[in-house]
Every structure is written in structure tokens, then in C-alpha cells.
Amino acid sequence: MTVSAPNARSSQLTAEYVNPLIVATRNVFAAMLGCVPNRTGLRLRSADDPRHEVSAVIGVTGKAVGTIVLSLSQQAACEVLQRMIGTEAAQITGEVCDAVGELTNMIAGASKAQLAKYELSISLPNVISGNNHRIHFPSNVRPMVIEFESEIGPLTIEVGFTGV
């Protein structure tokens, strides 16, 4: 028995999702926040990589199964709310979480539209905040991290997929 085959398939699926996510992130930010983030890095995620303080998590199911995580600083999350509806926030509130969750929902939706062959469905977003919070991907998935710089600050998109 070998475990390399599912991991190879997982890596292929994850890699296939990277470009659609980059395109979707840039388009969604442009439309909803009035700024276009620049991709500054792309790497495999290691287990102890720190995240920003706020993460929105969306599950994806269909002919592939995976997770997409948008992570950004508290300040950037508050700026998302301000840019979307003009409401100022100095800390993480329900309104901030809703705005970040909806932004992530749009990114996940726009990216899956570019991968129609997998007939993907997305879950409702969950938003997690706090320093050093942890989000665990399945053990056979090696997530990738796409790093961006933007007017509202740095952000990352993590993506990890596996076959079904």
C-alpha cells in the first residue's frame, strides 16, 4: 500500500486551484474594495506557519474536496467593512466578520466558476479570529499559501484540495 498517490492527486488539485484563486481575489477586491492586491509569494504551508488575526474558512465539495482560507490582519478586516459599507470598526465585530466572510464567499465562488468541470459547491463561510488560531487541513493535504500585498495590508489565501 502506498500513500503517495492520493498526495500527488491532492497536490495536483491544489495547484490547479491556485490561478483561479489569484484571478478571483484580484477581481473581487477590485469590485468590492476598490483596490487590486498584488501576489507577492506562493509556497507550501508548513504546520507552524503563523496566520493573520482573522481567517474566513470555506469548504468546497464536489468532484474534489477542499478548503479555502482568507487570512488578514485585524486592521485589514476592519478596513474591509469600511470599504464595503462605510462603517468604521476598531476591533473585530460581527459586522466585520460578516463582511470578511462575504468577501471570501465571493472569492471562493468566482474561483470555482473557473473550475466548472469539478462541479463544486461551497459552504457558508466561517470566520475565526484571535492570535495564533489554528485551522487544520486533512492530513493527506499539503495546502499552498498565496501571499498578497494590498492597500488594506497583507493577506494570504490558503488552499488545500484532495480527490474524492
Partner 1 sequence: MKVLLVDDSTTMRIIQHRCLNVLGIDDVVEAEDGRQALTHFEQTAFDVVLTDWNMPNMDGLALLKEIRSRNREVPVVMITTEAERKRVVTAIQAGVSDYLVKPFTPEDLKAKLQKWVAAGV
Beta strands in the chain (DSSP E): 38-44, 54-61, 64-72, 121-122, 126-129, 144-149, 155-163
Residue choice 102, 128, 133, 138 for contact with partner 1 (CB under 8 A): 102
31 binds partner 1 (CB under 8 A): yes
Q: Within 60-89, which residues bind partner 1 (CB under 8 A)?
A: 81, 84-85
Instruction: Give me the phi and psi of 43, to 5 degrees please.
Output: -155, 165
147 binds partner 1 (CB under 8 A): no
21 binds partner 1 (CB under 8 A): no
- Judge whether 106 and 98 are in contact, CB under 8 Å: no
95 binds partner 1 (CB under 8 A): yes
113 binds partner 1 (CB under 8 A): yes
Residue choice 6, 20, 59, 109 for contact with partner 1 (CB under 8 A): 109
Question: How many Cβ atoms are within 10 Å of 38's Cβ, its own excluded?
Answer: 10
25 binds partner 1 (CB under 8 A): no
How many CA atoms lie less than 13 Å away from 74 in the CB half-sphere? 11
Q: Which span sits near partner 1 by CB under 8 A: 1-9, 45-53, 106-114, 141-149?
A: 106-114
Please, what is the minimum distance in Å from the beta carbon of residue 110 to partner 1?
7
**Whole-Å CA distances, 72 to 17, 57, 158:** 20, 12, 11
- Give whichever of 33 and 141 is closer to partner 1, judged by the CB atom: 33
β-bridge partners, 160: 67
Instruction: Give me the phi and psi of 22, to 5 degrees please.
Output: -65, -45
Residues 6+ apart with CB under 8 A from 85: 99
Note the residues at the interface with partner 1 (CB under 8 A).
27-28, 31-32, 81, 84-85, 94-95, 98-99, 101-102, 105-106, 108-110, 112-113, 116, 119, 122, 124
